[in-house]
Structure 1
Amino acid sequence: MKKMLVIIFLLQLSGCSLVNVMKMRSENDSIQPVWEGEQQQYVLDTTYIGVKPHVMMSVDGQTTLLMHIDTGLSFSMLFDTEKVRNMALERDYELPIFGWGNEESSVGFKTEVAEVNVGPVRVPSFSFAVVPVSQSQYFLSDKEMIFDGVLGNDFLKHFAWIFDYKAEQVTISNVPLAQGTESTILGFETGSRKISIPVTLDFGDEQQSDIDVKIDTGSRHYLKINTAYVENREIRLPARMMNAADFGLSGKATHQRFRLDKLHIGDLKLNGVKTNLIYAEDEDDLNVIGSALFAHYIVGIDYFEQTISLDSYPNHTFSSRFNLSGLELREQTDGSFIVRSIAKGFPAESLQIEVGDVIDSMNSVPTSEISTSSWLDMASEPGDLTLCMRGKTCVDISLKNIPGYSVP
Structure 2
Amino acid sequence: MFTSPIIKLIGACFILIILNGCSVANSLRMMQINSNVEPVFVDSTRINLEALYEGEKPYVYATVNGEKLLFLLDTGARFLILMDTPKVKKMNLSRGFDLALSGWGEEGKSQAYQTDISRIDLGGVYFDGMKAALIPVSQTKYYLREDEAIYDGVIGHDMMRHFTWEFDANAGTIHLSANTYTAEENAHKLPMDSFMNKISVNGTLSFSDEVTVEESFIIDTGSRHYVKLSAAYPASNNIALPSARVVAADFGLSGKVEHDRVSLPQLSLGGIDIEDVKVNLIPSDDEDDWWILGNALMNQFKTVIDYKNEAFYLIPQKPFVTDYNLLGLELRKIRSGDFVVRFVFPNLPMSQTSIKVGDVVTHINGTPATNISLSDYNDIASIAKTHSLCINREAQCFEVKTQHISGYSTPTEF
Q: TM-score, normalised by structure 2?
A: 0.91
Match of 1:407 among 401, 404, 410: 410
**1:398 is matched with which residue?**
401
Evaluate the alpha carbon distance shift between residue 189 and residue 123 of structure 1 in structure 2; reply closer, same or farther with a 3 A threshold. same
Deviations 1:121-170 (A, max 9, x none): 11110110111233322222212110001000000000000111111111
- The aligned runs of 1:43-54 (5 Å cut-off) are 43-54=48-59
Cα distance, 1:265 vs structure 2 = 0.6
Aligned residue pairs, count: 396
**1:355 is matched with which residue?**
357
Taking the aligned partners of 1:357 and 1:74, their CA distance within structure 2 comes to: 33
Cα distance, 1:57 vs structure 2 = 1.0
Cα distance, 1:18 vs structure 2 = 3.5
Identity of aligned residues (%): 37
SS in 2 for 1:243: strand
Evaluate the alpha carbon distance shift between residue 246 and residue 407 of structure 1 in structure 2; reply closer, same or farther with a 3 A threshold. same
Taking the aligned partners of 1:389 and 1:11, their CA distance within structure 2 comes to: 45
Evaluate the alpha carbon distance shift between residue 230 and residue 112 of structure 1 in structure 2; reply closer, same or farther with a 3 A threshold. same
Taking the aligned partners of 1:159 and 1:270, their CA distance within structure 2 comes to: 28
Match of 1:17 among 20, 23, 48: 23
Cα distance, 1:321 vs structure 2 = 0.9
Deviations 1:160-194 (A, max 9, x none): 00111111111101111110121111011011110
Query: Are the counterparts in 1 of residues 110 and 141 from structure 2 also a CA contact under 8 Å?
Result: no
Amino acid in structure 1 at the alignment position of 2:386: D
Query: Are the counterparts in 2 of residues 273 and 319 from structure 1 also a CA contact under 8 Å?
Result: no
SS in 1 for 2:147: helix
Cα distance, 1:28 vs structure 2 = 0.5
**1:5 is matched with which residue?**
none
Query: Are the counterparts in 1 of residues 225 and 294 from structure 2 also a CA contact under 8 Å?
Result: yes
Evaluate the alpha carbon distance shift between residue 230 and residue 368 of structure 1 in structure 2; reply closer, same or farther with a 3 A threshold. same
SS in 2 for 1:204: coil
Taking the aligned partners of 1:97 and 1:312, their CA distance within structure 2 comes to: 36
Amino acid in structure 1 at the alignment position of 2:397: C
Cα distance, 1:17 vs structure 2 = 3.1
Cα distance, 1:212 vs structure 2 = 0.8
Taking the aligned partners of 1:153 and 1:223, their CA distance within structure 2 comes to: 20
Cα distance, 1:73 vs structure 2 = 1.2
Deviations 1:270-312 (A, max 9, x none): 0111110001122222110001001101100011111111111
Taking the aligned partners of 2:328 and 2:292, their CA distance within structure 1 comes to: 23
SS in 2 for 1:20: helix
Taking the aligned partners of 2:21 and 2:353, their CA distance within structure 1 comes to: 50
Q: RMSD of aligned C-alpha atoms? A: 2.0
Taking the aligned partners of 1:361 and 1:15, their CA distance within structure 2 comes to: 47
Is 1:140 the counterpart of 2:119 in the alignment? no
Cα distance, 1:223 vs structure 2 = 0.2
Query: Are the counterparts in 2 of residues 96 and 106 from structure 1 also a CA contact under 8 Å?
Result: yes
- The aligned runs of 1:182-221 (5 Å cut-off) are 182-221=186-225
Amino acid in structure 2 at the alignment position of 1:51: E
Query: Are the counterparts in 2 of residues 101 and 136 from structure 1 also a CA contact under 8 Å?
Result: no
**2:71 is matched with which residue?**
67
Q: TM-score, normalised by structure 1?
A: 0.93
SS in 2 for 1:386: strand
Query: Are the counterparts in 1 of residues 35 and 158 from structure 2 also a CA contact under 8 Å?
Result: yes
**1:269 is matched with which residue?**
273
Q: Which moved more, 1:249-258 or 1:163-172?
A: 249-258
Query: Are the counterparts in 2 of residues 75 and 151 from structure 1 also a CA contact under 8 Å?
Result: yes
* Structure 2 unmatched ranges of 5 or more: 1-11
SS in 1 for 2:370: helix
Match of 1:28 among 22, 34, 57: 34
Match of 2:309 among 305, 309, 314: 305
Taking the aligned partners of 1:329 and 1:106, their CA distance within structure 2 comes to: 21
Query: Are the counterparts in 2 of residues 163 and 300 from structure 1 also a CA contact under 8 Å?
Result: yes
Cα distance, 1:102 vs structure 2 = 11
Taking the aligned partners of 1:406 and 1:131, their CA distance within structure 2 comes to: 37
